Structure 1
Amino acid sequence: MQYSLAAFYEPRGVMRILQFIFAIVAFATTANYTNNVHSICIDGQTRTIEYPYSFEFQICNSTTISADLSSDAQFFVATGVLSMMYCIFIIAVYAIIDELYRTKSEFPLADFFLTTILAIFWLAGSSAWSNGTTALKTVTNPDKLSQQCKNCTYTVESFSKLNISLLIGFLNFFLWASGLWFLYKETIWFQGRQAKQQNVGAGTSTMGQQNV
């Protein structure tokens, strides 16, 4: 079996590698994040919040913390996993059957449409998870928790890792959306228009020569 790296010297191949890397970073930072809520008082406790962020527990015996953000988190993570799997598949296509990819119009069109769907998923998933992250910060806000138990002091660890996952999520949307241009150039739509323009240009040149 012969392999070709020609596609990876082009923007479409480079974009696939970047999309693969950042898809892994996005879902890994979300799925592997944990946070601890500490209560400082006589009945002080520590509770851990982790993926998929669906929880309900009591802390300090009189304070209940609950939230169900699993749908937002799982949608975001699923988008990352699907994107990673698609990148593996299409990278293999570029490496193994790139000549067939270029000669069969169905391949670029399918690649274009699937990439469009995943770009939409990244926008929707990042927006949903942004809403979920905001809700998680609100539920675990130490000031809000202190209102339920005035004899306790609460501390919550940093949300920086989740903030990074959100930034990477929107970066993924940008990567997948901007990559559509390079895929569009491989489709029969773009190539047909280019051929038409060349034919028009050649016809104009021929007429000019005849007039001379």
Structure 2
Amino acid sequence: MKINENTLLEGHGVVLVPYNVNHVPRYHEWMKSPELQQLTASEPLTLDQEYDMQKSWREDDDKCTFIILDKQRWADPSVEEEQCMVGDVNIFLTDPTDPSLAELEIMIAEPSYRGKGIGKEVTRMMMCYGVTKLGVRKFQAKIGLENQVSITMFKKLHFQEVSQCPVFKEVTLELTVDESVRTKLLDDAAHMKERDYRQTCSSRHELLSQ
């Protein structure tokens, strides 16, 4: 999606940045993991296919993605951005007749970053972005039945289970964004700062200390 190609979102412990070409090799290494393939219901791709996928994420109007970075590491300009990568978060606009319906996905690919509340912070940030920038009014999350950690996290964020699909071994959770949900989302993400990505890259250690 073009809308976020120069958008950086800064949270407490993470920074969300556009999925760029330089991120592809590390992303490709992540997705060789059978565990991540299972958790994300993904098939392994060649490196060339991964570059094509990155391009589609950038160009297609129905996909919005950010790469999750460790904020503390990224604030050190001596550390390459690719070495700060933790995972990714995505919004799919799944219904051409209803652009206010979005499917939400999050992947914490680096095992050492799991169980630290990062997933919850990133999900809230992405939901806030979806509501305020994309006009999302209903979120869906489709999660493998064995992925109890993610199911529990989304339920803590007040998603409700609406269906299970035994064939695909997944559960669908939903959250409708009414006025009370919107208010809470904005409150929870009040600390989030939106910055110009390219400008911040050139002086990240200065800006992120402000």
Given the two structures, how large is their TM-score scaled by the length of structure 2?
0.26
In terms of fraction of residues, the more strand-rich structure is 2
Length-normalised TM-score, structure 1: 0.26
Larger radius of gyration: 1
Structure number with higher relative contact order (C-alpha < 8 Å, ≥ 6 residues apart): 1
